[in-house]
Structure 1
Amino acid sequence: MDSGTHLVIGFGLAGLAYIDPIVASNPAVATAVLVGTVVGSQAPDFDTLLRFKSNASYIKNHRGLSHSLPAVVIWTGLITLALMLVFQGLPVGHIALWVFVAVAFHVFTDLFNTYGTQALRPFSHKWVSWNIIHIFDPVIFLSHIVAIFTWSVHLARPQIIFPLLYAFLAVYYVWRSWHHYRLESRLYQQDPQYADGDRYFLIPTFNLQAWQIVKRRSDGHFILGEYRNRRIQWVDEVACAVHPAVEASKLHKNVAAFLYFSSFACAELRSHEWGYEVRWADVRYRHRKQYPFVAVVLLDQELQPIDSYVGWVSETRLGKKLRANT
């Protein structure tokens, strides 16, 4: 989820904590839990600081180790220890429980997005992304805003508001998961161009009634489309280049980081007088007829790297980030 949604979830979990009699009866404990759930709901994304090292490091590691099973325990321990130093004499077990809920809930909700996490580490380094909930879901965000506002103006007790909120969201997640599975499993029946070996992936959008479709053909090429009103509309086809320059680009650290993260990468090759431009794009992220999440490597005629870029960028800005005149 985006940072704003994680933030309101942190406040929401602080309200839910009032079902714990120790929290509800002690203002100091409630304050410590509020700080703990807000910080805990953000903690796994502290690896965003890797941007200061390099885009490649950020792309390869964001939502990786920081969202792993050991990290959930480590974040809980560090935040709880810090709270015990500030709020002395409080019941450590109750504080640690709600911090743990906040951290674990962050990782859990991120599994439903397209970006995914490596939540199964150290048992598996696989990126887990269920493609069910958009990174910003208006239902999740606005329902938290309404609940927090109701709590803040004392229209109802938190012991009533927030159990109802999270019961509603549990139903919402189950419904979205079922709805996604039902639609995705039937796409091949609605596609007259379906061939054996084709695979379909349904990607959520901000619009709850609209989805993006990624069709991976048996030859490795991709077809992109939209699913709306029970109809498929194909909008683009991306052929993946095969060339020695493409293979050479995989040795570059920026492309290696990109391919480590994305299983939907497709290479485009452009030849120039000075060499080659190999542009890898993640086809899941299509915006205004462009694919802004890319890894680009410029190679000379001997396939030696000249320059490179990895990250989110528009077509007009990309040229400014690369030295060669492309």
Structure 2
Amino acid sequence: MDSITQAALGASLAGAVAGKTLGRSALLIGAALGTLPDLDVVIDYGTAVANFTQHRGFSHSLFILFPLSLFLAYALHRWRPLLSYRRWLAVTALILLTHPLLDAFTTYGTQLFWPFGPPVAINSIFIIDPLYTLPLLAGILAFLLRGPQTRTVTVGLALSTLYLGWSVTAQQIISDRVEPALAKESLQEAPRMVQPMPFNTLLWRVTVMGENRRVEIVTGFLDGDGPITLENFPRDPELAKAAASLEEGRRLEWFTDGFLHYERANGKLTATDIRLGIPGAHPFTFVLARDNGEGLEPEPSSRLERPVVAGELLGVLWDRMTGSAEVLCLASLSLPPPGEGCT
């Protein structure tokens, strides 16, 4: 999740556990601990792919964060012995461990069990979702205004947790909804990713990876009874094989679970993470190799500039989310006329 949300979660947890004893300072300590795992972004691992895939790595590992919570609890107890070591441990462990667990509900991928196993990505909540964050902020604000009453932050935590649970339930409902449409296309066994569109859990995007095509579906809870629209994007298996021959290509495949789009143009082989953002606005595209005239020559990966997102996109998403528009064409990020589909 975004840094504001992680700081709010940490502050809320610290306020709930230690707010009556430490007062408002508990919120500051909690916010600092809540942002601690994300400090790995300052580390340069040498290439664009390495920086991308190492983020949420060791600093988000439960095997690292639990021992760290023991040490931090000891240090904080020496600094502020108003709390017992056990309560300090409750503060540090809850905050440090919930940070990566919350991140795992997003799509980016979180290496909870680093250095063992692949990243975990439940995909049920967008990286920024106001309906998750606002209850936490409201509880913190009430705590600041009304004094150290743990009830306010506890209520905020309860509401945000219920919303997180709803996101998983909604994800399953959407997955079941698209099943008949995918079965008609013989794609029911193909790799599938179901995730919410930006900033909400009412409108969802389903990405299905066929052998020679990728299918995208946008559907939501406020849709009418109209048919589900499937939008096709081409895939080139040969480019995927070429990328698989490269060390950084294999690293990207591992990190994204294969949800990548490859292109070969202007003498470059590029790979785009299609999980994040939406088509036409994917933020992570990497150059893996260049054509030297005799074939692809690997080079240290670099990242292309993030595409500019038009301001009108928010209005398009709103119209589609509320059901006032029946179809959203991802290829053009536009709404076709009523009764028409995507070309």
TM-score if structure 2 supplies the norm length?
Answer: 0.77
Say if 2:117 is the partner of 1:117: no
1:233–1:262: structure 2 CA closer, same or farther, 3 Å change rule?
Answer: same
Deviation at 1:85, TM superposition (A): 5.0
**Following TM superposition, by how much is the alpha carbon of 1:166 offset from its aligned partner in structure 2, in angstroms?**
2.0
Equivalent residue letter for 2:32 = V
Give the distance between the partners of 1:285 and 1:67, measured in 2 at CA.
19
What aligned pairs does 1:2-17 form with structure 2 within 5 A after superposition? 2-17=2-17
Q: How does 1:153-232 map to 2 (within 5 A)?
A: 153-154=145-146, 158-191=149-182, 193-196=184-187, 197-205=189-197, 206-217=199-210, 219=211, 221-228=213-220, 229-230=222-223, 232=228
1:260 corresponds to:
254
Task: Please say if residues 61 and 113 of structure 2, whose CA atoms lie closer than 8 Å, have aligned partners that are also in contact.
Answer: yes
Q: Is the 8 A contact 1:118 1:128 kept in 2?
A: yes
Aligned AA (1:113)? T
Report the Cα offset of residue 57 of structure 1: 2.3
Q: Deviations over 1:34-86 (max 9, x none)?
A: 45422221122121122474422222211122222211213313433442454
In the superposition, relative to structure 1, how do residues 2 and 160 fare at CA in structure 2: closer, same or farther (>3 Å)? same
Q: Which residue of 1 aligns with 2:275?
A: 284
- Structure 1: gaps of 5 or more residues: 317-326
1:100 is paired with a residue of what secondary structure? helix
Equivalent residue in structure 1 for 2:305, among 285, 304, 313: 313
CA distance in 1: counterparts of 2:174 and 2:215, whole angstroms = 17
Query: Residue 331 of structure 2 corresponds to which residue in structure 1?
Result: none
Contact 2:268/2:291 (CA < 8 Å) preserved in 1?
yes
Task: Return the letter of the residue paired with 2:201.
Answer: L
Q: Distance in 2 between matches of 1:262 and 1:35?
A: 35
Residues 253-290 of structure 1: per-residue CA shift (max 9 Å, x gap): 543432231121232233x6xxx421212222344624
Cα offsets for 1:221-279 (capped at 9, x unmatched):
31223113346333441312415xx5454444543432231121232233x6xxx4212
- 3-state DSSP of counterpart to 2:101: helix
For residues 118 and 213 of structure 1, the distance between their equivalents in structure 2, rounded to whole angstroms, comes to: 23
Pairing of 1:8-47 with structure 2 (within 5 A): 8-18=8-18, 24=20, 26-27=21-22, 30=23, 33-47=26-40
Identify the range of structure 1 (184-193 vs 39-48) with the bigger mean alpha-carbon deviation: 184-193
Report the Cα distance in structure 2 between the residues aligned to 1:180 and 1:116, rounded to whole angstroms.
Answer: 17
1:140-187 CA distance string (max 9 Å, x none): 211122111111111x75322122222222322222211211211231
- Confirm whether residue 96 of structure 1 aligns to residue 89 of structure 2: yes
Distance 1:249 1:303, change over 3 A: farther
Show the counterpart of 1:79. 72
Confirm or deny: 8 A CA contact 2:204 2:219 kept in the other structure. yes
1:101 Cα deviation from its structure 2 partner: 0.4
**Count of aligned residue pairs for this structure pair:** 300
CA distance in 2, matches of 1:137, 1:315: 21
- 1:89 shift after superposition: 7.0
Distance 1:34 1:96 in 2: 16
Aligned equivalents of 1:80 and 1:53: distance in 2? Answer: 33
Q: Is the 2:11–2:29 contact (alpha carbons within 8 Å) kept by the matching residues of 1? A: no
Q: Give the direction of change, closer, same or farther, for the CA distance of 1:6–1:106 in structure 2 (3 Å limit).
A: same
Misfit runs of 4+, over 6 Å: none
Unaligned runs of 5+ in 2: 309-343
Shift of 1:88: 5.5
Q: 1:93 to 1:126 in 2, by over 3 A?
A: same
Structure 2 partner of 1:319: none
Alignment of 1:239 with 2:235, yes or no, is yes
Q: Is the contact between residue 12 and residue 140 of structure 2 (CA under 8 Å) also seen in structure 1?
A: yes
Deviation at 1:313, TM superposition (A): 2.6
Instruction: Find the aligned partners of 1:84 and 1:225 in 2 and give their Cα distance.
Output: 52
Q: Structure 2: how far apart are the matches of 1:220 and 1:70? A: 39
Aligned CA-pair RMSD = 2.8
Supply the distance in 1 between the matched residues of 2:148 and 2:78 (Cα, whole angstroms): 30
